[in-house]
Structure 1
Amino acid sequence: MSADTKIAELLTELHQLIKQTQEERSRSEHNLLNIQKTHERMQTENKTSPYYRTKLRGLYTTARADAEAECRQAVIIRVAYTDIPMPLALWTLEVSTDLICILRHALDKIAEIKSLLEERRIAAKMAGVNSDNDPPRKTMRRGVLMTLLQQSAMTLPLWIGKPGDSPPPLCGAMPANSDYVAKQGDKVAARVKAVDGDEQWILAEVVSYSHSTNKYEVDDIDEEGKERHTLSRRRIIPLPQWKANPETDPEALFSKDQLVLALYPQTTCFYRALIHTHPHRPQDDYSVLFEDTSYADGYSPPLNVAQRYVVACKENKKK
């Protein structure tokens, strides 16, 4: 089966999953609306009568039964009653929901589609490199490259684990395992020698890895197909493969004042920076302070950098 055919099939399946998501939301909406209205009436009357207690138990029992019948995957839903003087101030229900299963399945489909697209891009790139008959490829315009980097950061998948799961390596600030080898096409931070002889960290794409020499071949993302570097593993830092959710996995984020390497906005180079504030929502960026001697305190004003382009710094902080 060709990659195009497989992608078309996956897109069709994804469309059906999106329709199922809406159907599940609509199906449970009526019961959830009744629960909400009952809570509102209880708050208005500022009391919990036997009638309301019995009604709520029935509504929650129905919601639980519906969910358990649809899926085995459990999540914890805590329903807190505020400003109501009652013994059941906090209800904790272990509820299974088909919606979560559908969303997880949809995320798997999206990841598979992205993987196929990346494989096709790499194959086309390698075919262009190995072909002597094709005309020289034009360098990508700067604005187009910056837009693609921004889109890559926005579409980085969010890690959604099962209850009790810990964030995996390469989720947010979680480092790669010591034996991890980046795959062809993966984006990395690479330490290379600049034209003036100084060393700098650049955004690069993995071309290959040699297990015999323990070295990578990488392309400078800003000069794709023109400038290639052969680097040892210690000069490579894999970029995150998932965004960390600050609401569920705060331990997978860099902490305030932690020294990092961050991609300077509108460039393809990583520079040392301090974390000013970390993301508060999954879609938020880090706010970082780049080292900059042109400022009195040695740091730039806060600048936003996506989770995709913030990695642990292997160097010591300047004194």
Structure 2
Amino acid sequence: MAFSADAAAFQVQERLKALYHLVHKIEEERVRSEHNLNNITKAHEKINQEEKVSLYYQHKLKSLYTAAVSDAAQEEELIRTALQKVSEIRAIRNERRIQARNAGNKETIRRGALMKMLHNSAQTLPLFVSKLGEKPPPLCGAIPAEPTYVAKVGDMVAALVKSADEEENWILAEVVQFNPATNKYEVDDIDEQKDRHVLSRRRVVPLPLMKVNPETDSNALFDKGSVVMALYPQTTCFYKAIVNQLPASATDEYEVLFEDASYAAGYSPPLPVAQRYVISIKEKKGKSQS
């Protein structure tokens, strides 16, 4: 849905107000939950002193644990609602940015600023927080997109394009549109937005839309030793690499070894790459890294 500048600003402000109130409610729930947890600790200390669990404390602990579980569920619901508001704000701002681009208002971004923007984009990628028994969805961490999935306008993708010398390279690009009649994408090179490419779906790989918490959903990460495509640090190109070390926390990056003939071992030293920029490898002829 298209937004005018005023409408978009109003929508963002409304969500920021809601987010403000949600943050206060979350803090209230946290304090209440902490009170119950303290009572549980005191009850256990009393039981340890008496060296037995009386019928009274059995009932008391059951009541306290029930209240604690209820408090945690309420706090979780508020946090998820707050995260949804953040996602809505990001979507509105992205829609306005796309409208400005389509209207011909393209900004020239300095190289340093672009690298910082890409880093921030990876750091602020929404974190998948699974519920009990819930599996990570497609485009979460290492989970690929469904075969029929079509990337949305404004999404970042890896795109296989030909350079002026006919060499093919995987670059970081942004989706401009998808034409279902031709089954092709139009994408802009993220580094040179004046360069637009029309590509078949097999030449476009959607990037993850959510990152994974290794402490709860490590199964949605690439295994150590996996062959992947990864964005080489301080560039906007993807190259073949091997996963050397997995992220230990939600804020950590992968450590990868890039295929590089300039090193005796054939691979670069370990380099950090954010979850967002590590994807399944797609082999192509004439691949090389300079």
TM-score when scaled to structure 2? 0.90
Q: Is the 8 A contact 2:172 2:190 kept in 1?
A: yes
After TM superposition, the structure 1 = structure 2 runs for residues 188-267 of structure 1, keeping only pairs within 5 Å, are 188-224=157-193, 226-267=194-235
Alignment partner, residue 85 of structure 1: none
- Deviation digits for residues 34-68 of structure 1 (CA, Å, limit 9, x no counterpart): 3234546767x6x83235x8436514422413644
- Deviation digits for residues 19-45 of structure 1 (CA, Å, limit 9, x no counterpart): 0010001112122123234546767x6
Alignment partner, residue 50 of structure 1: 53
| Cα distance, 1:50–1:309 mapped onto 2, change above 3 Å | same
Alignment partner, residue 33 of structure 1: 38
Q: CA deviation at 1:281?
A: 1.1
Matches of 1:171 and 1:22, distance apart in 2: 29
Letter in 2 for 1:8: Q
Q: Is the 8 A contact 1:262 1:310 kept in 2?
A: yes
Q: Is the 8 A contact 1:262 1:272 kept in 2?
A: yes
1:4 paired with 2:6, answer no
Alignment partner, residue 135 of structure 2: 166
Aligned residue pairs: how many? 281
Residue of 64, 75, 96 corresponding to 1:99: 75
- Deviation digits for residues 232-255 of structure 1 (CA, Å, limit 9, x no counterpart): 100000000000121221111100
1:312 paired with 2:280, answer yes
Matches of 1:301 and 1:31, distance apart in 2: 50
Q: Is the 8 A contact 1:35 1:56 kept in 2?
A: no
Alignment partner, residue 91 of structure 2: 115
**Runs of 4+ off more than 4 Å:** 37-43
Alignment partner, residue 100 of structure 2: 124
The percentage of aligned residue pairs carrying the same residue is 53
Q: CA deviation at 1:218?
A: 0.4
Structure with the greater alpha carbon radius of gyration: 1
Matches of 2:33 and 2:58, distance apart in 1: 15
Alignment partner, residue 108 of structure 2: 139
Letter in 1 for 2:142: A
Matches of 1:239 and 1:255, distance apart in 2: 18
| Cα distance, 1:316–1:184 mapped onto 2, change above 3 Å | closer
Letter in 2 for 1:120: R
Q: CA deviation at 1:282?
A: 1.2
| Cα distance, 1:67–1:32 mapped onto 2, change above 3 Å | same
Which consecutive residues of structure 2, in runs of 5 or more, have no partner in the other structure? none
TM-score when scaled to structure 1? 0.82
Alignment partner, residue 251 of structure 2: 283
Alignment partner, residue 88 of structure 1: none
